[in-house]
Amino acid sequence: MSSLTADSEWQASFNPWLIAASVMLATFMEVLDTSVATVALPHIAGNLSATTDEATWVLTSYLISNAIVLPTSGWLGNFLGRKQYQLLSVLVFTLASMWCGAATSLGMLIAARVLQGAAGGGLQPVSQAVLLESFPRERRGTAMAVYGMGIIVAPLVGPLLGGWITDNYSWRWIFYINVPVGLVALLMIQTFVEDPPYARRSRQGRIDFLGLGFLAVWLAALQVILDKGQEADWFGATWVRWFAVTSVVFLAAFIIRELRTDDPIVDLRVLKDRNLAVGTFLIGLIGVVIYGTTALLPLFLQDLLGFPAYQSGLAVSPRGIGAIASMIIAARLVGRVDGRILICTGIVIRATSLFMLGGLNLSAGLGNIVWPNIVNGFANGFLFVPLTTMTMETLPKALISRGTGLYNLLRNIGASFGISMVATMLARGSQTHQADMVGDLTPLSLIYEHTLRLLDHMGLTSAQALGEIYHMLLQQATLWAYVDDFRLLGVLTLACLPFVFVFRH
């Protein structure tokens, strides 16, 4: 029997669901940690004598190191062995979490987060690869549905859990809770996960240090621009222009290096597979939409509608109900219904939810927020499950780990672009609408005069009345900026539709 035939017929020694539980536990922990620290930043800043702006490096440092490791995960999995690499990642992530919780200064916490992000970078793509390899082709949709539940629910639970722990205990416990979870994950991976024969054969001995250096510089420069660009007025700042040039130059050098070397640390040649190339591009676009929405909603609820942090988390959390329901349905449909139809269904459902959010106003109640979120979450199963399955479907098993690394990298880059885009549009859109509306605050406006008289009857002085009117104008201008953002994300979602039909069925 040829090695290719043996590879395609290889089956895991243990029940695939035990393997799924093992890798999902570690992945859930990692995804949870990308969002759990967001609500604790003011507490971290106060406790470590730092400004809120300085404390944001707790998030940025994690994302940078995470992004650098993501595309190298396939190579590292081959170099160390999938099982050993996953064990090492979970171990380092757990130890780094202990270090984060014990940090006595902001610098110490940032260093620990860099290590934590580097360890977490390999968990998602390697977990996806292990799941796709462990399940037979006809059950991969079900496996991806279970995986998707963890990936989607964790970011929703993160802010809610982080806020509750920070309010009731200490911000340090949002990191300490990873320790028992990490230990259980280590035990389960050691017991149930194994390397397939082709992974054992393909272990490499050479490290492409030059390619790794190029990769680290261009991704780090890009991530810093996306995280800090809005604060610095983008290309109005000299350092942003220099970082942008550096990122582009090193990206070009990285691509040339990886295509020419015999042992690339990131195998870009796998993008010759049409499904992988299309799926990777699509997950980048969808990442822009999903994470842009995730960034906008808490701000809308807290800053504009006055929801407390915990209540805003409760308003958003029903998205998980829709996600779980659609995952169960999608798991049964994948393999029976054309995946392209399922993806298109998910795109239309998500766009509908965003246009629903684009119709909100300042009098919106909890019900107006909950239903669009349930619809938004319901789209996820029809997007993630068939998209991941179709993207990896035509790849040989031996190349799946390389494909998942690139796939997850584009999702993360799309997420960073999405968050930066909506933050910039929100700030600038609010200023634009304010400039447009302020022209109506003149004695010639009947509404303006009526509001002034009404406030005067309420006992406000002229200065107080003008201040109140300006506050109302700011609220309306900011509302329109949010509405514009939600509607733009809806249009971007629909723009994904034509690309779906490029997939090879």
- Please calculate the CA angle 291-375-414 and round it to the nearest 5 degrees: 15
So what's the pLDDT on residue 2? 46
Could you report the per-residue pLDDT of 129-151, keeping only the tens digit for each? 888 777 777 777 777 777 777 77
Q: Which of 55-59, 110-114, 396-400, 489-493 has the highest mean pLDDT?
A: 489-493
* pLDDT > 90? residue 246: yes
Q: Which of 14-18, 34-38, 185-189 has the highest mean pLDDT?
A: 185-189
Arithmetic mean of pLDDT over the chain: 83
Percent of the chain predicted with pLDDT > 90: 24
Is residue 355 within 8 A of residue 339, CB to CB? The reply is no
Could you report the per-residue pLDDT of 16-30, keeping only the tens digit for each? 888 888 888 888 888
DSSP letter string over 94-160? HHHHHHHHT--SHHHHHHHHHHHHHHHTTHHHHHHHHHHHHS-GGGHHHHHHHHHHHHHHHHHHHHH
Tokens of 429: 């859109």
**Angstrom distance (rounded) from CA 432 to CA 438:** 10
Percent of the chain predicted with pLDDT > 70: 88
Could you report the per-residue pLDDT of 427-457, keeping only the tens digit for each? 889 889 888 887 777 676 667 676 777 776 6
Between residues 54 and 233, the one the model is more confident about? 233
How confident is residue 497, by pLDDT bands cut at 50, 70 and 90?
very high
How confident is residue 4, by pLDDT bands cut at 50, 70 and 90?
very low
Between residues 258 and 367, the one the model is more confident about? 258
Could you report the per-residue pLDDT of 45-100, keeping only the tens digit for each? 888 887 766 777 787 788 778 888 888 887 888 788 888 888 999 999 999 999 99
Could you report the per-residue pLDDT of 35-52, keeping only the tens digit for each? 677 667 777 888 888 776
Between residues 389 and 246, the one the model is more confident about? 246
36 Rama class: left (phi>0) / alpha (psi -120 to 50) / beta:
alpha
Could you report the per-residue pLDDT of 304-320, keeping only the tens digit for each? 887 776 677 677 778 87
